[in-house]
Amino acid sequence: MDLSHAPIVFLHIPKTAGQTVHNSLSRIVKARRVSPIRVHTQAATPQDQYPPGYSLYSGHLDWAAMDHLPAARFVFTVLRDPGERIASFYFYLQRAAASLDPATLLLPQNIGLKRALDWSPDDYFFGGDDAWQTFVHSHYDNFYCTYFATRRMLGWGSTQDQPRPQVLAKARLGLGSIDQVYFTKDMAQIEVAFQTRFGMHLRLADRYDNTSSEPASLLRWPRLLASFATDGATERMQNFVEWDQKLTNGLV
For residue 232, the SS3 value is helix
- pLDDT, tens digit, for every residue of 82-105? 999 999 999 999 999 999 999 999
Alpha helices of 127-230 — where are they, by DSSP H?
A: 130-140, 143-150, 164-176, 187-198, 221-226
Contacts of 226 (CB under 8 A, 6+ apart): none
* Interatomic CA distance for residues 88 and 141, integer angstroms: 14
| Rounded (10°) CA dihedral 86, 92, 97, 100 | -160
pTM of the model: 0.93
- pLDDT at residue 109 greater than cutoff 70: yes
- pLDDT, tens digit, for every residue of 8-63? 999 999 999 999 999 999 999 999 999 999 999 999 998 999 999 999 999 999 99
Alpha helices of 2-78 — where are they, by DSSP H?
A: 18-29
For residue 111, the SS3 value is helix
Please report the DSSP string for 113-141 in residue order. Answer: HHHHHHS-HHHHHH-S-HHHHHHHHHHHT
Q: Can you give the residue ranges of every domain in the chain?
A: 8-80+178-198, 82-173+214-249
- What Cα–Cα distance (Å) separates residue 7 from each residue in 35, 50, 58, 140? 10, 11, 10, 30
What is the rounded average pLDDT for all residues in the chain? 93
